A = this chain, B = another copy of it.
Amino acid sequence: MKDIKHFLRQNSLRPTKQRVIIASYLFDGVNKHVTAETLSNKLLKMKAGISLATIYNTLHDFYEKGLLKKLMINSDRIYFDTNTEHHHHFYSKKDQKLIDINVDMKVSGLPKPPKNKKINKIEVLVHLDN
């Protein structure tokens, strides 16, 4: 509790009631993949009614501070990942579920990037049966 406030302050984020609740859920030590909607539902279950606008604001604030990663998985909605380390994912479209791949993977045979462009990062998405 004290440490979450401290954690937010360390990241130049005022520890408001709402941000403390959201941060303590997101950063409880278990990596998560959330959308605004799934987070809102989870918070409702925890009896913390936080407006959708605040949820969007907070996810973006955390993202801006590098506390969350944005995932481009699906054109329907934006996914945020609490694991900001470079890593890859399994994705099950059927279950709309993401699973972290935390082992080291290598991609070989990569061609040269186009002129004047540098490779920033390589993202591997492993699609599971439908």
Contacts and interface: CB of A to CB of B under 8 A. Distances in A.
Contacts of A72: 72-75, 125
Interface in A71-130: 72-78, 90, 92, 99, 101, 103-111, 113-114, 117-130
A114 B127 contact: no
Given A72-B75, A74-B72, A78-B75, A124 B107 contact: yes
B117 A129 contact: yes
B120 A123 contact: no
Contacts of A119: 126-129
Contacts of A124: 107, 122-125
Given A90-B113, A103-B111, A119-B127, 12 more contacts: A72-B72, A72-B73, A101-B110, A104-B109, A105-B109, A108-B108, A114-B128, A119-B128, A120-B130, A121-B126, A122-B124, A125-B125
Interface of A: 70, 72-78, 90, 92, 99, 101, 103-111, 113-114, 117-130
